[in-house]
Amino acid sequence: MGISVGNLSIDAALASAHDRYIKRHPKSAAAYQAARAVMPGGNTRSVLYFDPFPLTMARGAGAEVWDIDGNRYCDFVGEFSAGLYGHTDPVIRAAIIEALDGGIVMAAPTTIEERLATAIRDRFPSLEQLRFCNSGTEANILALVTAIAFTGRRKIMVFREAYHGGVLVFSGGGSPMNVPFDFLLGDYNDAPAAERLIRAHAGSLAAVIVEPILGAAGNIPGGVEFLRTLRRATHDAGALLIFDEVKTSRCGAGGVQALHGVVPDMTTLGKYIGGGLPTGVFGGRADIMGCFDPKGAKALRHAGTFNNNVCSMAAGYAGLTKVFTRARADEFLREQEAFRVELNEKMIALNVPVQFIGLGSMFTVHFSSRPISHPKDIPAISRRLAQLFHIECILSNVLVASRGDIFMSLPVGPQHKAALSEAILRFVDSYGELIRREIAALT
């Protein structure tokens, strides 16, 4: 970068970065304008938009992608954790082709559906029985309505700044797009307050749903005692504990629930679980999921044309049993956690208030000199600095999410990690003075 910031403000630094970005991506600029004519905002997925306009991609291979202007990038967006297998895994590709050759839209159960369900249950024993759907959002909605039907209660406890899908958003307290459940809002990683809230509503509480790592709020890990308190308090209240492991199930062979030894009543999965294709999973104790047995009295009906689509089932099964095996999952967690720790050590050595918070292959850059265990620990200025970090990384041919999230994929190699490390160090070298000045102003 080689930028001399002097007394440059964040706004001025962003304006300069945007100018360089615009000059480098004329075809993406034109594609964005064309898309705006037929899609509001030029896209159909809000998180993909960022100023001044998003990149338009042409292709991907392994852990790399190319935009339509011909620029090549190391991909650390990782489809927000869904891209665990990268872009061209040969095992996944072969499984999809085989499924296509056998016919699609079968309107019937297939053997691959049962095999994937068994593989998932073997990895996540809390899922004694499970059902498939089309996304993590669907999985969470279905888990919540299942909890309401099973308990006969209506209230759902969630946590501020949590994200459980496009219609279950609790940043800023909620979203007008949210489904109209009767929500209680708690504070993440505050075990005593959560226990008090559960006890106060014990007679009407159907479920507590929690991300073991608070993803969209900055990949803040849930404390072991916090998660164990939720387990104990929901059990005592007769409410269900739902672990949203849509993202975090990649953290080791059995997800965060296995790492911490906390067994929820229900679990939801998604993202990479379909091998990169659309899939969601919800399930849990057999007595709860028995509500969906058609042979039962007053069985719940669960519809979805593409719930068991053969391509997702085949890709998911190949991924879990041949690529992201139990051994590889544990190894991947160790490798990427060591890399995350190494990045933090470099920031400490440079005496710059930058932290990479998360676990293993999923973490977020935060600009703060203080420990981060709650969303309120993240200063507002950190989000502005993350926007600058995001654009400068793109200009260094490294892709991270616009909010500073970094997701590692299985094909990431030493050269990709080196590129990310170098982009971070260049950013700190260029903007370290600005970062220190802005963070110091908060004290």
State the pLDDT at residue 263: 98
Among residues 308, 323, 338, which one ends one of the domains? 323
Residue 97 resides in a domain: yes
Residue 84 resides in a domain: no
Q: Do 262 and 332 sit in the same domain of this protein?
A: no
Amino acid symbol at 111: T
Q: Do 143 and 121 sit in the same domain of this protein?
A: yes
Q: Using DSSP, state whether 87 is helix, strand or coil.
A: coil
Sorted by sequence, the CB contacts under 8 Å of residue 346 that are 6+ apart come out as 421, 424, 425
State the pLDDT at residue 174: 87
Q: Using DSSP, state whether 169 is helix, strand or coil.
A: strand
- Residue 6: band (very low, low, confident or very high) from pLDDT cuts 50, 70, 90: low
85 an active-site residue? no
Q: Do 352 and 383 sit in the same domain of this protein?
A: yes
303-333, pLDDT tens digit by residue? 999 999 999 999 999 999 999 999 999 999 9
Q: Do 171 and 51 sit in the same domain of this protein?
A: no
Q: Using DSSP, state whether 104 is helix, strand or coil.
A: coil
92-108, pLDDT tens digit by residue? 999 999 999 999 999 99
Residue 265 resides in a domain: yes
Among residues 306, 323, 340, which one ends one of the domains? 323
Catalytic residue (choose from 21, 32, 85, 163): 163
Residue 129 resides in a domain: yes
Q: Do 254 and 139 sit in the same domain of this protein?
A: yes
Catalytic residue (choose from 89, 271, 417, 431): 271
State the pLDDT at residue 173: 77
CATH code of the domain in which 368 resides: 3.90.1150.10
Please provide the average confidence, as pLDDT, over all residues in the chain. 96
Q: Do 279 and 380 sit in the same domain of this protein?
A: no
Q: Do 360 and 281 sit in the same domain of this protein?
A: no
Indicate if the pLDDT at residue 1 is higher than 50.
Answer: no
Taking a C-beta distance cutoff of 8 angstroms, is the pair 432, 424 a contact? no
423-432, pLDDT tens digit by residue? 999 999 999 9
∠ CA 14-20-23, rounded to 5°: 135
Indicate if the pLDDT at residue 23 is higher than 50.
Answer: yes
Sorted by sequence, the CB contacts under 8 Å of residue 3 that are 6+ apart come out as 13, 16, 430, 431
Q: Do 105 and 185 sit in the same domain of this protein?
A: yes
Question: Residue 379: which domain range?
Answer: 10-75+327-440
Residue 51 resides in a domain: yes
Q: Do 131 and 261 sit in the same domain of this protein?
A: yes
State the pLDDT at residue 93: 98
Q: Do 242 and 269 sit in the same domain of this protein?
A: yes
> What's the mean pLDDT in 399-423?
98
- Residue 8: band (very low, low, confident or very high) from pLDDT cuts 50, 70, 90: confident
Indicate if the pLDDT at residue 197 is higher than 70.
Answer: yes
State the pLDDT at residue 5: 55
State the pLDDT at residue 2: 42
State the pLDDT at residue 443: 78
21 an active-site residue? no
Residue 113 resides in a domain: yes
Q: Is 7 exposed, middle or buried (0-12, 13-18, 19+ CB in 10 A)?
A: exposed
**What's the order of all strands across the beta sheet hosting 266-269?**
129-133, 280-284, 266-269, 240-244, 205-210, 155-159, 182-186
> What's the mean pLDDT in 374-389?
96
CATH code of the domain in which 283 resides: 3.40.640.10
Indicate if the pLDDT at residue 153 is higher than 80.
Answer: yes
333-370, pLDDT tens digit by residue? 999 999 999 999 999 999 999 999 999 999 999 999 99
295 an active-site residue? no
* DSSP structure string for 301-365: P---TTTT-HHHHHHHHHIIIIIS-HHHHHHHHHHHHHHHHHHHHHHHHTT--EEEEEETTEEEE
Number of domains in the chain: 2
53-69, pLDDT tens digit by residue? 999 999 999 999 999 99
Residue 131 resides in a domain: yes
Q: Do 44 and 67 sit in the same domain of this protein?
A: yes
245-287, pLDDT tens digit by residue? 999 999 999 999 999 999 999 999 999 999 999 999 999 999 9
Catalytic residue (choose from 67, 89, 190, 244): 244
> What's the mean pLDDT in 13-38?
98
Sign of CA dihedral 138, 144, 147, 153: negative
Indicate if the pLDDT at residue 297 is higher than 90.
Answer: no
Q: What percent of the chain has pLDDT over 70?
A: 98
Q: What percent of the chain has pLDDT over 90?
A: 97
- Residue 172: band (very low, low, confident or very high) from pLDDT cuts 50, 70, 90: confident
> What's the mean pLDDT in 20-39?
98
Residue 218 resides in a domain: yes
Q: Do 180 and 210 sit in the same domain of this protein?
A: yes
Among residues 263, 288, 323, which one ends one of the domains? 323
